[in-house]
Chains A and B, each alone.
Chain A
């Protein structure tokens, strides 16, 4: 193989204009074995590569090096543009074993290149956890390593990289248009669509995108024999198909696609029509027309003529166009011939998919319409298997032509599925046609809001955040409305650019009645359209909660037409139903947690990868697998209970009206924005569903370009300068960016501190005031001796009042403040800190480091010395020493020790009762355990009484001897001791929070 490749490579060298002398040719004679012909003067690998590099043809050469099959294809790669991106992606692939991997990369053409280049761009911003996760999963699919690695290369870095790629609405979405044609790929199409919306979600999709085709491997395994001719043919037929459908419906093929965009696909399937008339009757808005025409005119003719230039319409696919056709011609077939297992089919799938994507150009509408059927399918068939079958079924009747084209894989599925559910299928498609669009539009508006050039990135991030937590379209709608109000308000009062949107909290969402619905979608979706309802068996629910929605959604559709956009919700829904582990993810709410999701998704994808290759399965393979991960139907059942409530809400006329109103409100804006959006540079579209944390990087990226380091930002310029002159201020946790007019400057804060220190009011008041002072200091980023003083003051008050949570806050602040070298009562507080660590956290490691941090001067300090002694008393269990230290504790150390006294006493009595025989005088116990308030010799009767009381409460047995002296009967006691339930215990576990008690203690 190597030899062969070598020769091939040499050919390549010749062809590629190898005339350039290799700088290493002479320097590396050791590589002679590689050269075949002496005449070529030792063209060895490196030199070869060099040559190629200089000819800008490096990639083919390297792939040839690795994979002889590839070499044959090199001609196809001559395209210089392709080389650039390809080089980075295929890169250093040494292994011959990975031919599949390489081929995959080739085959996916524009997609992987872009992902990868994106990946490189964002490599550093992508979070670590995702990396790790991917690593793990990747390896689990050992036998399919190439494939999974491929996934990695393109997808796992996803969160960041995809966003930009995918945010070109029109281009990618079109992939979905492919759907009606290729049954098996349906799911992947969905993925693509959804990806547009949330990059956070994106990864999973990508996975399924690749894995699903894989799962189809079984069906497609026969495809392995497909040859170039077939592909070409297929390709051509596709073009033909589209043009034909186009001409069917409209007169001018391929040009006036405005209406056609939707019709062309539908028209091919008569069954669908009932759903569509509504759509078509909608007068296309002007924006739509122009847009649609543009895209189609460029996209279609090119397809027909097999002129690849047509693709260049998509700015994203810069390198795509030229290679595309060639790859099809030469590469795909090769690949098929050469590889085994599941990879080739998947490759084929992807390729086809992409082809479709290209072909479809701007058919925005089918994707959505077709997408829905899948969403609803589960409703009909809770069984995953059936579902998958139907998936294929739905598609196939739709596109007979394609079915024949894809003869290898689809017919089989067709047969099987058609038998089962031929009748029910169309109904679903109907349903689907109306539903998704509203979601699209609502979502679209979300995007249009976010993507506007006009707004600063922080607002965009804010908007994205707010949309990210929406769980369904109703929420999204209301969210959108609220957002709009907020932003309008902000722009009218001029705070739009001054407000700190990154810290701006999100407004509360309206009740999530739709959550339930969303979750329950498998069932609910069934009854989507009236038409569908008619066809349904009467036993089913007749009333549809979606009904009202349908009407308004038709309206939305107009808007939707204009925007090439994809829908989060439909995606979400799709996931819930389809992939069960995805559902799991969903149930976690809307935190777009990539890592978790990746992991779960990966498991499934790996399964998909591993299984199907062996026995030829039909299209149900992926569904079955998904089902095996966790049961879909179980979930569905669980969810049924949500229904009833959701229905009532959704059906109420008010709600209906409201929603209609809302959706109309945005129509115009959407059109405008969508147009803008189409022309925006992609960089601005990044970061769809990011979470809050990434806002800063987002700012950086958008404002200053990706290179600018965090350190270089002048954060100081953002600092608030307070102007408020009032000394007293109530504490209120900030819910928005601080308003300078309510923030006190440093000199006022100093007065405020003095006021608090001298006030005679209770702790609650002091705490409140101090917290507000701390807040003002924080927002103004004042960190100096005043800050230390404030925290120290507060810590002391908190200790006195026994408010440990507050004390801990102060202590941790003080720790960092002292570490910055700001002067204060370091020793006192390091002593407190020590005591806290010893007595409360009992973490040896922490104790050691606290002790290790003490400076020699600190160790000489009395307070610290005392704390250290306490520590030693505690570790050795020396209760005598402990209570002596307790009595002479300096400052507020007593307060901290107070909290440990009970425990120490208990331990002590346990120890004493075990070692003393026969009795111990209670007076002695009282003296040793610090009950008596006086010195050791001055016996205080009160102390003894208290002690006896305490002992009894802890299960000790006390006897009285002849002299009337109380004695602790140690033998009996030793077995009867217990820790009584604290009397002041409160439900929440913190007695400090018991209001009565707290107020009593806090009273002045």
Chain B
């Protein structure tokens, strides 16, 4: 009893000390509810709360707003410890709201650090709460709630004061939520305000937030198949992110590789292996060999993964490049045999090649593919329908993409 009392009291004291002396760095860890399973201090506080039922009494000494923050926070810690994540989330959200209320009143940005912690915690708790709700067969909606809380936080940060540098961090947390919820369209408005509002100077934001932001916006561009913008954003993220954070680099590469592939730039074997992106190995091979079967196989094999990450359609579009490679190979072989007739490729040859690859295509379809290749400027020349022959241009019949998207 006495011990529990002391521990809870310590927590309250530490919290209010940090709060009043405006020490963000010492306040932050106290808000980190989800780390209470790893942090010994929070763990002891959580146990203390369980043992010392009457802890609310301790809060009588602190005043209004702080009491609001603390009482809900402690309840959240207690619920989290007990594994009641939904309760923990609800309490934490209350605490976070009270904190935000105070935060608005502070002119300086000292509380950004604690606010970041809250933004992170509320997301993590919401995910856990949703998991709990889902397992109870209820509607998991807490993450959505966390999203709207973070929107509020964003609103509190989006202003001229020193607090504005925190806006991007919150934006990134919001992105995480929206991507998880599959409501990426909600990102639009927030991106717009980041990129157009005059109060924000992108260079002013902390680097880590910029990297995260670029990563997510790059992903959005992947969805939109806006490969050039996607490449630019993801390259920014890649070149600015901490090179020791391999997990982060891997996450970026997961999107950057397909984007680069579709721009005709292939990764090295080494890169793929270093970051364990083996799902792309066969895709790259298929592109190199012009092996359409290999590509389809790779897509089939990792279908769910690619669908989930959203690169499936991007990879599927590589098919045309694979066909281009195949045609180039045929062309080169013909040139070896008879340079004077090399630029005329008969459809039968192509059909035969595809048959070897066990592709079930007839001549009409091949014709169609040839037409598309020419149409998309992957192949220079024309198709003569009567003789069923592709007549290739004598100069650079297979133009390289060189960083330009197909069809551009």
Residues of A within 8 A of B (CB): 23-24, 27-28, 31, 45-46, 49-50, 52-54, 58-59, 62, 65, 86-95, 97-98, 101, 120, 123-124, 128, 131-136, 138-140, 142, 145-146, 149, 152-153, 844-845, 847-849, 851-852, 872, 875-881, 910-912, 914-921, 924, 928, 936
Q: Which of A27, A89, A852 contacts B304 (CB 8 A)?
A: A852
CB distance from B299 to the nearest CB of A (A): 10
Q: Is the Cβ of B65 less than 8 Å from the Cβ of A91?
A: yes
- From B63, B307, B367, A91 is in contact (CB under 8 Å) with B63
Contact of B10 among A27, A94, A917 (CB under 8 A): A27
20 A–B contact pairs at CB < 8 A?
A: A31-B17, A53-B61, A86-B64, A90-B64, A91-B68, A98-B105, A128-B149, A132-B151, A135-B158, A138-B104, A138-B156, A139-B160, A145-B106, A153-B105, A845-B182, A876-B320, A877-B375, A878-B365, A878-B369, A881-B365
Q: A28-B13, A845-B223, A920-B385 are in contact. Are A92 and B159 (CB under 8 A)?
A: no
What is the CB-to-nearest-CB distance from A25 to chain B, in angstroms, rounded to a whole number? 11
By Cβ-Cβ distance, the 3 closest A-B pairs, closest first, are: A91-B64, A139-B159, A91-B65
Question: B385 to A919, Cβ gap below 8 A?
Answer: yes
Distance of B103 from chain A, by nearest CB (Å): 9
Given B6, B156, B184, B308, which contacts A845 in the complex, CB threshold below 8 Å?
A: B184
Among B201-209, B233-241, B280-288, B311-319, the stretch in contact with A: B311-319
Are A92 and B102 interface neighbours, CB within 8 A? yes
User: Is B252 among interface residues, defined by CB-CB distance under 8 A?
Assistant: no
Residue of A nearest to B64 (CB): A91
Contacts of B365 in A (CB 8 A): 878, 880-881
Whole-angstrom distance between the alpha carbons of A921 and B385 in the complex? 8
| B155 interface hit (Cβ, 8 Å) | yes
Contact B158 A139 (CB under 8 A): yes
**Closest CB-CB distance, A3 to chain B, in whole Å?**
15
- Residue-wise interface mask of B (376-395) relative to A, using a CB-CB cutoff of 8 A (1 in contact, 0 not): 00000011110000010000
Choose among A94, A135, A146, A877 the residue that contacts B19 (Cβ–Cβ < 8 A). Answer: A94
Could you tell me if B159 and A138 are in contact, using CB atoms closer than 8 angstroms? yes
CB-nearest residue of chain B to A98: B105
Q: With a CB–CB cut-off of 8 A, which chain A residues contact B153?
A: 135
A875 to B315, CA, bound (A): 11
Q: Is the interface of A mostly helix, strand, loop or mixed?
A: helix
Known: A46-B61, A91-B68, A94-B19. A139 touches B383 (CB 8 A): no
Q: Which residues of A contact B159 (CB under 8 A)?
A: 135-136, 138-140, 142
A139-B161 in contact (CB<8A): yes
Complex interface: chain A residues within 8 A of B62 (CB): 49, 53, 92
Contacts of B65 in A (CB 8 A): 88, 91-93
**A91-B317 in contact (CB<8A):** no
B385 and A924 within 8 A (CB)? yes
**Please, which residue of chain B has its CB at the minimum distance from the CB of A50?**
B61
Q: Are B105 and A145 in contact (CB under 8 A)?
A: yes
Q: Least Cβ distance of B215 to chain A in Å?
A: 17
Interface of B is mostly: helix
A92-B19, A128-B151 are known contacts. Are A27 and B9 too (CB-CB below 8 A)?
yes
B271 contacts the other chain (CB 8 A): no
Q: In the complex, how many angstroms separate the beta carbon of B405 from the nearest chain A beta carbon? A: 15
Taking a contact as CB atoms closer than 8 A, the residue among B67, B313, B319, B370 that contacts A844 in the complex is B313
Cα–Cα distance between A88 and B67 once the two chains are bound (Å): 8
A92-B66, A877-B372, A915-B371 as given contacts; A136 in contact with B182, CB under 8 Å? no
In the complex, A625→B304 CA distance in Å?
Answer: 60
Taking A128-B148, A132-B154, A852-B308 as contacts, is the C-beta distance between A911 and B375 under 8 angstroms? yes
Known: A59-B63, A145-B107, A845-B223. A915 touches B375 (CB 8 A): yes
Q: Are B385 and A880 in contact (CB under 8 A)?
A: no
B90-103 interface code vs A (CB 8 A; 1 in, 0 out): 00001001001110
Q: Closest CB of chain B to A985's CB: distance in Å?
A: 29
Can you add 11 more A-B contacts, CB < 8 Å, to A62-B63, A875-B317? Answer: A46-B16, A92-B65, A92-B67, A128-B148, A128-B151, A135-B100, A136-B155, A848-B223, A849-B182, A881-B368, A928-B364
Q: How many residues of B contact A (CB 8 A)?
A: 75
Q: Which of A135, A911, A918, A924 contacts B156 (CB 8 A)?
A: A135
Cβ 8 A contact of A45, one of B20, B105, B148: B20
Chain B contacts with A in 108-157, Cβ cutoff 8 A = 148-149, 151-157
Contact A132 B152 (CB under 8 A): yes
Q: Is residue B210 within 8 Å, beta carbon to beta carbon, of the partner chain?
A: no
CB-defined contacts of B317 to chain A, threshold 8 Å: 875-876
Cβ-defined contact, B6 with A878, below 8 A: no
Q: Which residues of B contact A49 (CB under 8 A)?
A: 16, 61-63
Tell yes or no: B77 within 8 A of A by CB.
no
User: How far apart sit A95 and B103, CA to CA, in the bound complex (Å)?
Assistant: 11
Bound-state CA distance A58–B285 (Å) is 73
Distance between Cα atoms of A53 and B66 in the complex (Å): 13
Q: Tell me, yes or no, whether B310 is within 8 Å of chain A by CB.
A: yes
Output the least CB separation between A596 and chain B (Å).
14
CB atoms of B310 and A914 under 8 A apart: no
B22 within 8 A of A: yes
CA distance A45 to B62 in the complex (A): 10
Q: Is the CB of A848 within 8 A of B310?
A: yes
Question: A157 — nearest CB in chain B belongs to which residue?
Answer: B101
Min C-beta distance of B146 to chain A, whole Å: 12
**How many whole Å from A531's CB to the nearest CB in chain B?**
50
Which residues of B sit under 8 angstroms from A911, Cβ to Cβ? Answer: 371-372, 375
Let me know if B312 and A851 touch, CB within 8 A: yes
Residues of A within 8 A of B163 (CB): 139
A620 vs B104: C-alpha distance when bound (angstroms): 31
The answer to whether residues A142 and B310 also contact, given A94-B19, A132-B155, A915-B382 and a CB cut-off of 8 A, is: no
User: Which of B16, B19, B104, B370 lies in contact with A915, CB distance below 8 A?
Assistant: B370
In the complex, residue of chain B having the shortest beta-carbon distance to the beta carbon of A140: B159
Within 8 A of A (CB), among B1-20: 6, 9-10, 13, 16-17, 19-20
Nearest CB of chain A from residue B10's CB, rounded to whole Å: 7
Q: Which chain B positions have C-beta within 8 A of A847? A: 313
Q: Nearest Cβ distance between residue A141 and chain B, in whole angstroms?
A: 9
Residues of chain A within 8 A of B160, CB atoms compared: 139-140, 142
Contact A916 B383 (CB under 8 A): yes
A94 to B182, CA, bound (A): 40
B364's closest neighbor in chain A, by CB?
A880
Per the bound structure, the CA–CA distance linking A918 and B94 in Å amounts to 73
